[in-house]
A and B are shown apart, each in its own frame.
Chain A
């Protein structure tokens, strides 16, 4: 794989789903094999298609062939109602600032993979270990697939690791890059979207100390303490640390936690509005399933329930779910989050220096 990093850049702009894979009705339009219970997915999609068509017409009218999208209340409303897949790459690129970066830095991505770049062997090895363990349930990522997206995935992760050496490669980034490649069908765009996510939208989730991740886990705990005190109490009673139940949610930005279509809708808002959306999703899942969580009688049962509440009709029905996340948790100001992040981060840093002076 490593010998192929330089010569495949040109094909990436034309990556598309093999028609033969669409013939398999157990595979969704992104190449993922349907999990158990895919009937509820099909049922949801049958109704969702009407929504998509309606949104698609509205978006086409809004964009009218424009590349640059300005940010205003109307666009924000549109984003919350879902970006049609054909416009997704463009909207994500524009809203996150990735498009601007790409235009300002022509050739930069390719230079990171080029021969002038001193390649980090350790980084290459770490990335390579995860190639066959990234979406094996997606036909586009299989070795037998042509083109096989593992190659694009490897390139984007390697380039990013060279670009941001403080972060390098952290597990979880492979899933994120994988989704970006599926949606943009383009390595360079995926790279710049990674850059806006990791560099600007998320606060330090993937660097070796993972301080931003640890902080946000505790911030969620504090929000639950206020918005669902009974759950907070149950967590304390059973001695469940937040990291045990939500680290996957945050690290993977809900990939492999929630259904694909729902994740993409969340990401629409993530790119447009920022990381606050991650808390809205978590709070909604918890608030909506309070009774179920409270039935748990042990730490393991709590963990199992936190797994279960991400599945089923409630999360499959992405359109209703997205309405819920802006309703159910109530108001959630950025000022509150910022303040909580500050205090939680202080606690964590103090705790870390206490343990390792």
Chain B
């Protein structure tokens, strides 16, 4: 399997239990909805290489357990994450109210420059909505987060969430962020090897594996 890429980013998926974190990851990697799995205990991994602004980026994604008490365990995985999907469930106000706590943890424990995208998941369940789009986008703005409403069921905005987050990190690398600084959550891939390959490849599908 080809494993060439320009950059490797460590990503986290965090948020309350039952918001659909693992389903988002599964939809992103396998392009399928999967809801017949046991919930996550501890941490699971997934990875995928995507093409963003002419760069191949390998996302190494850490999917975490959401229950409150597991946070004291999963917090130790945050270190050195370059990006994060912060997930709540649009049909559950409680999962939205918990966002501040998750955010504090992520900002405190991951890389200083962590790029976070807020995902209001279960967009397909609009009839049961408890959190409006406007309210959440205001929250995102106040906290300097990107924001999308997603559906792991239909796949809507799922790839976009990961790609937008990666794109922002790439932009940061061009302007201010030094990937070689310790704990940036970014590593260089073997770009030299990539030059030997044909310059055009199918987008976002060069290598896939899923640890879930």
Contacts and interface: CB of A to CB of B under 8 A. Distances in A.
Contacts of A251: 41-42
Given A134-B38, A210-B72, A171 B17 contact: yes
A133 B68 CA distance: 17
Contacts of B76: 241, 243-244
Contacts of A35: none
Given A244-B43, A247-B42, A171 B70 contact: yes
Interface string A107-148: 000000000000000000010011011111100000000000
A235 B65 CA distance: 22
Interface string B53-81: 00000001000010111101100110000
A170 interface: yes
Nearest to B42: A247
Contacts of B42: 243-244, 247-248, 251
B45 interface: yes
A112 to B, nearest CB: 22
Contacts of A252: 41
A256 interface: yes
Nearest to B22: A133
Contacts of B35: 132, 136
B163 to A, nearest CB: 21
Interface string A233-274: 000000001011001100110001000000000000000000
Given A175-B38, A244-B42, A129 B18 contact: yes
A254 to B, nearest CB: 12
Most A C-beta atoms less than 10 A away, residue of B41, B60, B73: B41
A304 B209 CA distance: 12
B104 interface: no
Interface residues of B, number: 23
Interface residues of A, number: 32
A136 B73 contact: no
B211 A171 contact: no
B17 A304 contact: no
B113 to A, nearest CB: 20
A72 to B, nearest CB: 37
A130 B18 CA distance: 8
Contact of A243 (B36, B39, B69, B73): B73
A133 B35 CA distance: 8
Nearest to A135: B38
B2 interface: no
A256 B68 CA distance: 22
B37 interface: yes
Interface string B108-139: 00000000000000000000000000000000
Interface of A: 126, 129-130, 132-137, 170-172, 175, 206-210, 213-214, 241, 243-244, 247-248, 251-252, 256, 300, 303-304, 307
19 contacts: A129-B17, A133-B18, A134-B38, A135-B38, A137-B36, A171-B70, A175-B38, A214-B72, A214-B73, A243-B76, A244-B42, A244-B43, A244-B76, A247-B41, A247-B42, A248-B41, A300-B60, A304-B45, A307-B211
Q: Which 4 A-B pairs have the closest CB atoms?
A: A247-B42, A129-B18, A136-B36, A133-B39
Interface of B: 17-18, 35-39, 41-43, 45, 47, 60, 65, 67-70, 72-73, 76-77, 211
Given A210-B70, A244-B77, 16 more contacts: A126-B17, A126-B67, A129-B18, A133-B18, A137-B36, A170-B67, A206-B69, A208-B68, A210-B69, A210-B72, A210-B73, A247-B73, A251-B41, A256-B38, A303-B211, A304-B45
